[in-house]
Amino acid sequence: MIDRTHESGLKSWVESANAPGAEFPIQNLPYASFRRTGDEQVRLGVAIGDQVLDITEAFGIGSIETVMAMPRERRVQLRQRISDLLARYTPGSETFLIPISGVELLLPCRIGDYTDFYASIDHATNVGRIFRPDNPLFPNYKWMPIAYHGRSSSIVVSGTQVRRPCGQIVETAGGPPVYRPSGALDYELEVGAFLGPGSAMAEPIPIAEAEEHLFGVCLLNDWSARDIQTWEYQPLGPFLAKNFATSISPWVVTREALAPFRCAVPQRPAEDPQPLPHLRTPGGAYRITLEVWLRSANMSEPVLVSQSDFSTMYWTLGQMISHHTSNGCPIRTGDLIGSGTVSGPGKHNRGCLLEITSRGREPLELPTGETRRFLEDGDEVILRGWCEQPGFRRIGFGECRGAILPALRLESETL
């Protein structure tokens, strides 16, 4: 899948795309849905430097769903056409450009279904040790990608403020609960993956074909209310602790752009079971560096909290897709899956505050002298990501931002 569009020496006539460290060089070309100022029409765009190339205007493609539904060969051809347009200037091409700062970036597509996985064994082990020190992993973890069905109606684009949720919370394991604002609000650093052509009912996607259904990836923050989660998650798993908000970045970095950064899947320890046949050919991993930055209301600049590597995940995106459909569950164009929190072995690699603070027992210290066990009102969480590989141009993912608003007053408090 590596072709002329990936050449490290390729430059664009859009000068900002050629700057060292530019997130959106011509080798990237991520898609987004946007509106022009004063125009209600939703358009399809591609990032190039600090500009958006209006794909709807330049190529007559009205939505990202149209591209997602294309077979890979057609998507590759479209990428090559876009690359050629931006590499060789022709008079009038500049009319298709709009500054990113001058457009409204939207959710990339209509998300019909959303499933969130739990694919980092470091995260699962770190969390398991907090609650079950002697037996951190459940027996099924190394046999299949664990997941739960999320709520697509509460997925919001980066920059949308997040309201602190209320829910049932207990002081002791057996209750009784009280209904109040969450006091243990957390973020989760994840990669979101948009699925492409889809599959038919009762027709599992073979593992060898699974990545053909991967359109592209974005940054994802699966906001979590840990105290609500503690009371509700048994026996059926996450519900209100997770479905109040999920933030994603607006730019979708395509599978084609990720091709130079595909790498071998980490070798499993000899004592671990080998995957069952429908998961046995995992495909490849993707070398994506991910960061979490945090800014309190008293800070002018955010501070780096953690950094992790997506290529270390125990289960690959291909395995997630294949397992998701292994019972005959159909997927549709624009469906979204989350990777689960991306963590690593060290404390600086942990992708949520639950892990970093050991459930609040070891508070995170901020440069202002403030400490955080969990998120406070006014805190802003910023996720960032990029890919690097010798011989290829670095590409970025943009940002996924969200700031915390206070909980709404309970109705009982106003009576």
- Is the C-alpha dihedral spanning 127, 131, 133, 136 positive or negative? negative
Cα separation, 182 vs 166, in Å, equals 6
Q: How far apart are the first and last CA of the chain?
A: 63
| Choice among 6, 123, 323, 324 that is catalytic | 123
Cα separation, 284 vs 265, in Å, equals 6
Residue 42 exposed, middle or buried by CB count within 10 Å (0-12, 13-18, 19+): middle
In whole angstroms, how far apart are CA 317 and each of 47, 155, 267? 24, 20, 16
Residue 273's beta-bridge partner residues?
none
Residue 207: which of 258, 167, 166, 265 has the closest Cα?
Answer: 265
Task: Read off the tokens for 343.
Answer: 């963590």
Cα separation, 25 vs 220, in Å, equals 22
Cα separation, 185 vs 353, in Å, equals 9
> Is 123 known to be catalytic?
yes
Q: Are strands 162-163 and 395-405 parallel, antiparallel or unpaired?
A: parallel
Cα separation, 275 vs 270, in Å, equals 12
Q: 150: Cβ–Cβ under 8 A, 6 or more apart, which residues?
A: 114, 115, 116, 222, 242, 243, 246, 338
Task: Read off the tokens for 302.
Answer: 């955010």
What's the alpha-carbon Rg for the chain, to the nearest Å? 21
Residue 168's beta-bridge partner residues?
179
Q: Are strands 253-254 and 97-99 parallel, antiparallel or unpaired?
A: unpaired
Cα separation, 227 vs 385, in Å, equals 29
CB 361 within 8 A of CB 139: no
Which are the catalytic amino acids?
Answer: 123
